[in-house]
Structure 1
Amino acid sequence: MIVLVNPRATRPKNRRLPLSVLALGAVLEGREEYAIVDGNVDEQPEKTVLSLIDKNPVELLGLTVMPGPQMAAAMEISRKIRALRPHVPIVWGGYFPSIYADATLNASYVDYAVRGQGENTLIELLEVVRGVRSPDSILGLSFKDRTFGMHRHNAERPMQGPDAFPWSPFHRLRVEQYLRPSFFGERTAAHHASIGCPFRCSFCGVHAAYGNRELMESPDRTVAILSHLKQTYGADSVQFYDMNFFMREDHARELAEQMLPLGMKWWCEARIDTMSRYSDATLDLLRRAGCKMIFFGAESGSDWALKEMEKGITTEQTLTVAERMQQHGIIPEFSFVIGNPRDPERDTRETLAFIRKIKTLNPASEIIMYHYTPVPQRGAMYGQIDGKINFPATLEEWATKRWMDFTLRIDPNTPWLKRKTKKLIENFETVVASRWPTVQDIAAPKWSRNLLRTLSAWRYWFRIYAFPHELRLAQRFIQLRRPKQESL
């Protein structure tokens, strides 16, 4: 038996379908005996895993791992299983080991790290644990060479599009547990319709982990899966977790036309430059097909900073998208990473002014703000910070508060960002979040929104952001929802 674990990553009310372990289960279905354990549902995943090991001949324990809370949960499970059942090989896959393979293998309780797409790597790794194949022959695998006391990182595995693999085995889960209420519907599902990213934004590790090509699922298959979730489990809305859901306008139109009869509301992510070029007819079709909100990585209000990031967009394109989304009744959700290492004070000043410009142009725009936190990789931006940040070499250090905060962009404590600049960003975010409470907070009563708007109006009007104690107190009293902290 193979045991696949999705370590706890979020609060129960925010859990979504564990797409990564479902994808692995899809290639095991019908050929291997396996079980899925989801820490977002199971309150004692370690106990469940131990029970499976004691009742079955478990050959491999696989964990999917994202940075942050899920990494800490994966450490806890892996440590316990290694201590109590040391004969079971443990493999980590997902974003964290794809980027931090050496730190992963530095843990005594992790035997293998799968980088990038894991479906075929998992199948081939089973041959290794069964003693019929050498680990150095498997693409995308990192492992411990105990003979020479070193880590070995095999060549990258070429990515394959979603259509190359079977559907997720939804029947292995109680899907109803994952269809949670949201701004988009009463029973919101999750789906991933592509892999990879052709863009090379220097602060992001997605292209490093999952390839520099985006391979899209066919519209026929996407709609078939959504139809199954709707008809079988009652899903009425969906969040697409693709990095760039709209790569080609012809693909977007074909998908939208097929989704029209479903009547599902949905959220997705898209590139600003791509969407700025879409025709009015296509944008109108997307809205009619159920597109309610699109997340955009605007990143900065400074064109020089966007160039530094190798983002490939301009501030003018962002303003164009904000205006066109308003015209077509789609809410834009703009994300900014503020505090560029080249000149953090200038980047902060110009970006905050740019956010005000967006709000004037389209007040319905949702704004999400982060402190600039890079990932270790080759690229212009990383070259500039080399020597200023020494990334952890062990999982234990990654799990400390300092690095957990860095990963979650809560208080990254980057050496180039002055304390007063950091406070300005945080205070501005508090004022903006109060002046325009997120529409995604479906639990907030009307009076609470009006209260926040009234309390913050004078601050926003006069640009007085310092010491917004009354707003933070009101936000705590109201328990204002913050979309960017859902995973906490």
Structure 2
Amino acid sequence: MILLFHPRAVKPRSRRLPLAVLALAAVLEDREEYEIVDGNVDDDPLGTLLGLIDKHRVELLGVSVMPGPQMAAGMEVCREIRKLRPHVPIVWGGYFPSIYPEATLNAKYIDFAVRGQGEDTLLELLEALRGERTFESILGLSYKDQFGFHRNNAERPMKGPDAFPWSPFHRLPVEKYLRPSFFGKRTAVHHASIGCPFNCSFCGVHAAYGRTEKFESPERTEAILRHLVERYNADSVQFYDMNFFLSEDHARELMDRIAPLKLRWWCEARVDIMSRYSDETMQAIRRAGCTMIFFGAESGSDWALKEMQKGITTEQTLIMARRTREAGIIPEFSFVVGNPKDPERDTRETLAFIRKIKRINPDSEIIIQHYTPTPQRGSMYGDVDDKISFPTSPGEWAEKKWMDFTLRIDTRAPWMKDKTKRLIDNFEIVVASRWPTVQDIRAPRWGRYLLQTLSAWRYTFRFYTAPHELVLAQRFIDLRKPKRESL
């Protein structure tokens, strides 16, 4: 038997279908005996895994790992399994081992790390464990050889979603994952592509999943969504693609196909691409149920955008603020503030730019984060890697200071002055109070009104210092911020 483990990553109200392990399950379906254990719905995943190991001959424990809480939860369970059932091989896959393969293998309880797309690598790893091929022949695999040395095989070329079977949704209690959200009462998730063709220097996605983005066909996307609607009564969906819109022709066909499903949905896109879309395509997107689009605006400084290799301009962001307002779609603009090149200037210009966006489209949702670099295989942005000594094991990444770094709670960036950091944090508090996110479906109307009233004078007069009353009010109301949805 193969065990696929999805460690706990979110609170129950935020859990969604574990697409990563479902993708692996899809290639095992009808060819291998397997079980999925999800820590987001199982209160005792360690006990469940141990029970399965004792009941069956388990050949491999595969663990899907993202940095942050999921990594910490996976580390604790795997460490116990290695101690109590040392004969079971353990492989980590997903974003964490793709970006940090050496740190992953430094853990004594991890035998293999899968970098990038894992479906074919998993099947070939099973063959190697059965003596049917060598570990050296498996692309995308990092492992420890017989002497304990780390071996990193060549990268595996990415395949598009159409190359693999559908997710076997029937292997999970889907009703436990279709949770209420701003978009609907039964919100599903879907990933219609893999990879990213862009090269933003602060992001590790292209390092993990390649420099091309491969989409599934519009027919398949429609079919999967229709299945979720008709079989499980899904009424909304969040698309997890890095760039849901690239080709305008693809977008138009997909919109025409999914419009009859009457779904409300959220996705991510780029301002440079969508700013070139026709008005007809924008209206087709809205008719298809698009409610909100996340844009990585990143900075209000064109020089900083060039430093990031983002490939967009501030003018394109302003264009999309206007066009989304005209189309009746809520834009969600994310900023990573405090560029290492000149954090004070970047902060000053970006905060002013955010105010400009709000004048153009007051409904714009604003997400503010400190510039947090990702250590990448190969090169890093500028000389950041000389200023930060990144952890060398999962245990170190689980320490509070690095967990705060991962979650952007406190990056402790050495290039950032304390007063600049406080300005960013205080501005975020004021903006979040002046315009409480519409995605917080639990916040009472009176609470929103209170926050808006308390923060109005601060925003008007640009007085962001020590907003203690807003901090207390947010805690009292339990206001959720979009970037903290999973916590």
Identity of aligned residues (%): 74
Contact 2:192 2:221 in 1 (8 A): yes
Aligned letter for 1:124? Answer: E
Q: In structure 2, what is the equivalent of residue 236 of structure 1? A: 235
**Deviation at residue 130 of structure 1 after TM alignment:** 1.2
Deviations 1:287-317 (A, max 9, x none): 0110000000000000000000000000000
Q: In structure 1, what is the equivalent of residue 24 of structure 2? A: 24
**Deviation at residue 380 of structure 1 after TM alignment:** 7.6
Contact 1:98 1:113 in 2 (8 A): yes
Deviations 1:328-371 (A, max 9, x none): 10000000000100000100000000000000110000000110
**Deviation at residue 414 of structure 1 after TM alignment:** 0.9
Aligned letter for 1:250? Answer: D
Aligned letter for 1:194? Answer: S
Q: In structure 2, what is the equivalent of residue 341 of structure 1? A: 340
TM-score (norm 2): 0.99
Contact 2:333 2:365 in 1 (8 A): yes
Q: In structure 2, what is the equivalent of residue 60 of structure 1? A: 60
Contact 1:202 1:379 in 2 (8 A): no
Q: Secondary structure at the match of 1:382?
A: coil
Whole-Å Cα distance in 1 between the matches of residues 452 and 296 of structure 2? 26
Q: In structure 2, what is the equivalent of residue 420 of structure 1? A: 419
1:283 aligns with 2:282: yes
Segments of 4+ in structure 1 off by > 6 A?
none
Aligned letter for 2:25? Answer: G
Whole-Å Cα distance in 1 between the matches of residues 23 and 12 of structure 2? 21
Contact 2:207 2:377 in 1 (8 A): no
Matches for 1:2-81 after TM superposition, within 5 Å: 2-81=2-81
Deviations 1:63-83 (A, max 9, x none): 000000000001011101000
Matches for 1:291-302 after TM superposition, within 5 Å: 291-302=290-301
Aligned letter for 1:85? Answer: R
Deviations 1:439-467 (A, max 9, x none): 11112222111111110000000000011
**Deviation at residue 62 of structure 1 after TM alignment:** 0.4
Whole-Å Cα distance in 2 between the matches of residues 334 and 59 of structure 1? 45
Contact 1:106 1:393 in 2 (8 A): yes
Aligned letter for 2:193? Answer: S
Whole-Å Cα distance in 2 between the matches of residues 182 and 407 of structure 1? 25
Whole-Å Cα distance in 2 between the matches of residues 383 and 367 of structure 1? 27
1:474 aligns with 2:462: no
Contact 1:115 1:209 in 2 (8 A): yes
Matches for 1:206-355 after TM superposition, within 5 Å: 206-355=205-354
Aligned letter for 2:199? Answer: R
**Deviation at residue 379 of structure 1 after TM alignment:** 7.9
| Aligned-residue CA RMSD (Å) | 0.9
Whole-Å Cα distance in 1 between the matches of residues 401 and 145 of structure 2? 31
* Cα distance change of structure 1 residues 144 and 381 upon mapping to structure 2, 3 Å threshold: closer
Q: In structure 1, what is the equivalent of residue 442 of structure 2? A: 443
Deviations 1:64-105 (A, max 9, x none): 000000000010111010000000000000000000000000
Whole-Å Cα distance in 2 between the matches of residues 141 and 98 of structure 1? 10
Q: Secondary structure at the match of 1:230?
A: helix
Q: In structure 2, what is the equivalent of residue 395 of structure 1? A: 394
Whole-Å Cα distance in 1 between the matches of residues 482 and 430 of structure 2? 16
Deviations 1:182-209 (A, max 9, x none): 1110100000000000000000000000
Aligned letter for 1:304? Answer: W
Whole-Å Cα distance in 1 between the matches of residues 396 and 380 of structure 2? 24
Q: In structure 2, what is the equivalent of residue 184 of structure 1? A: 183
Q: In structure 1, what is the equivalent of residue 132 of structure 2? A: 132
Deviations 1:139-188 (A, max 9, x none): 000000133x3111000000000000000000000101000111110100
TM-score (norm 1): 0.99
Contact 1:370 1:409 in 2 (8 A): yes
Contact 2:99 2:377 in 1 (8 A): no
Q: Secondary structure at the match of 2:381?
A: helix
Aligned letter for 1:393? Answer: T
Q: In structure 2, what is the equivalent of residue 487 of structure 1? A: 486
Whole-Å Cα distance in 1 between the matches of residues 429 and 413 of structure 2? 21
Whole-Å Cα distance in 2 between the matches of residues 10 and 212 of structure 1? 29
Contact 1:91 1:114 in 2 (8 A): yes
Contact 2:271 2:317 in 1 (8 A): yes
Whole-Å Cα distance in 1 between the matches of residues 18 and 209 of structure 2? 18
Whole-Å Cα distance in 2 between the matches of residues 386 and 478 of structure 1? 40
Q: In structure 1, what is the equivalent of residue 374 of structure 2? A: 375
Aligned letter for 2:239? Answer: F
Unaligned runs of 5+ in 2: none
Whole-Å Cα distance in 2 between the matches of residues 224 and 475 of structure 1? 42
**Deviation at residue 132 of structure 1 after TM alignment:** 2.0
Unaligned runs of 5+ in 1: none
* Cα distance change of structure 1 residues 100 and 380 upon mapping to structure 2, 3 Å threshold: closer
Aligned letter for 1:16? Answer: R
